[in-house]
């Protein structure tokens, strides 16, 4: 960051003389990934999300790109809470680097499923501290820094996605988190239109929305439609193996695949550690479509195929 730009930014944001509501994107604005944003009232802030960005194909040797933790560390005394909207890597992947930059008592808020993912990640990096972790439920308000926070349910390709209503004496900010509108989600947890209607009557000072393909025409296909299509194709593949690919975090899609396997008399095998990581987190939180212990181990797949052929 150029010194002149940095000086202007600090003059604008530091102290109590500037605008009362303040938004400072650390990453994720105008780019896909690395979602991380400071939202403040006067000189008190919360940090929303802490994600990674994955490099382009021409960025050799780079595995992950993370937000500027030196800046976060400099302002750590002003950051009073971290709130995570959902469990995708571009929203939680940088936590192992961001959390050490914050004060040791700064609380971290997330929904129960997202918190299971966070716990595992922090334990892997040796920075797990249970007293800092606070789980929330949608529509239950809590205090985080200068804001009264109300999480509201939005639908996305991972369970427990939340938008955040941030209220303070100087106005109300609505941060949607990542969203798509699924009219018939397979878990029955629909997009909370009622909360948005109530919020519109209350009035919103600023709304920040994040939906990657919002400028594309048409509507996203509901997961229930995908489930029906999967079942049809798997049923047509009589006497053959079926191989599917997907994002590991899409627990609802795993459920659709499991249903198709059950209805066609097939066993399910996962290849890839991330699939198990997300499924086990969902199982601990009571949101998994199957017990991970019932899966066929991938290293036993060849043996199982030989038995089927005999």
- Please state the rounded mean pLDDT for residues 113-117: 98
Give the model's pLDDT for residue 17. 73
Report the relative pairing of strands 206-210 and 171-178 from DSSP bridges.
Answer: parallel
Give the model's pLDDT for residue 310. 53
In a domain, residue 196? The reply is yes
> Which of 210, 237, 263 lies at the terminal end of a domain, its last residue?
210
161 and 79 within one domain: yes
31 pLDDT higher than 80: yes
Give the model's pLDDT for residue 6. 56
| pLDDT higher at 279 or 31 | 279
* Domain hosting residue 161, numbered range: 3-210
In a domain, residue 192? The reply is yes
252 and 181 within one domain: no
Q: Which percentage of the chain shows pLDDT scores above 90? A: 70
CB 51 within 8 A of CB 35: yes
- Please state the rounded mean pLDDT for residues 184-190: 89
- Please state the rounded mean pLDDT for residues 82-86: 98
> Which of 210, 237, 264 lies at the terminal end of a domain, its last residue?
210
With cut-offs at 50, 70 and 90, classify the pLDDT of residue 216: confident
- Please state the rounded mean pLDDT for residues 45-53: 97
180 and 32 within one domain: yes
Please tell me the distance from the alpha carbon of residue 253 to that of residue 256, in angstroms, as a whole number: 5
In a domain, residue 216? The reply is no
64 pLDDT higher than 60: yes
In a domain, residue 134? The reply is yes
205 and 227 within one domain: no
Concatenating the DSSP letter of every residue in 62-83 gives ---B---HHHHHHTTTTEEEEE
With cut-offs at 50, 70 and 90, classify the pLDDT of residue 5: very low
Here the CATH number for the domain that contains residue 296 is: 3.40.50.10710
Q: What average pLDDT does the structure give for the chain? A: 90
- Please state the rounded mean pLDDT for residues 30-42: 92
User: What is the four-CA torsion angle of 86, 87, 93, 95, rounded to 10 degrees?
Assistant: 60
Give the model's pLDDT for residue 212. 78
136 and 94 within one domain: yes
Q: Which DSSP category does 143 fall into? A: E
13 pLDDT higher than 80: no
CB 267 within 8 A of CB 304: yes
> Which of 188, 210, 232 lies at the terminal end of a domain, its last residue?
210
Is pTM beyond 0.95 here? no
269 and 301 within one domain: yes
- Please state the rounded mean pLDDT for residues 80-91: 97
CB 304 within 8 A of CB 310: no
1 pLDDT higher than 50: no
284 pLDDT higher than 70: yes
| pLDDT higher at 123 or 7 | 123
Give the model's pLDDT for residue 258. 94
């Amino acid at each position: 960051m150029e010194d002149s730009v940095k000086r202007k930014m600090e003059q604008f944001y530091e102290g109590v003389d500037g605008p009362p509501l303040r938004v400072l994107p650390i990453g994720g604005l105008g780019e896909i990934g690395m979602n991380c944003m400071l939202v403040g009232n006067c000189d008190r802030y919360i940090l929303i999300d802490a994600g990674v960005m994955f490099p382009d194909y021409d960025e050799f040797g780079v595995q992950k790109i993370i937000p500027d933790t030196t800046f976060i560390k400099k302002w750590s005394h002003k950051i009073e809470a971290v709130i995570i909207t959902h469990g995708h890597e571009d929203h939680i992947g940088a936590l192992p680097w961001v959390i050490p930059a914050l004060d040791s008592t700064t609380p971290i808020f997330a929904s129960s499923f997202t918190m299971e993912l966070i716990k595992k990640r922090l334990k892997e990096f040796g920075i797990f501290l249970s007293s800092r972790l606070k789980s929330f439920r949608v529509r239950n308000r809590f205090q985080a820094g200068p804001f009264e926070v109300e999480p509201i349910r939005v639908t996305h390709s991972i369970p427990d996605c939340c938008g955040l209503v941030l209220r303070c004496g100087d106005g109300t900010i609505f941060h949607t988190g990542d969203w798509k509108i699924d009219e018939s989600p397979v878990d029955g947890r629909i997009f909370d239109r009622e909360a948005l209607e109530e919020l519109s009557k209350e009035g919103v000072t600023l709304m920040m929305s994040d939906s990657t393909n919002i400028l594309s025409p048409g509507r996203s296909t509901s997961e229930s439609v995908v489930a029906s299509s999967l079942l049809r194709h798997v049923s047509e593949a009589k006497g053959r193996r079926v191989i599917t690919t997907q994002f590991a975090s899409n627990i609802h899609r795993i459920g659709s695949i499991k249903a198709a396997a059950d209805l066609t008399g097939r066993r399910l095998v996962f290849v890839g550690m991330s699939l198990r990581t997300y499924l086990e987190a969902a199982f601990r939180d009571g949101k998994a479509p199957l017990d991970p212990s019932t899966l066929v181990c991938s290293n036993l797949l060849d043996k199982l195929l030989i038995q089927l052929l005999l």
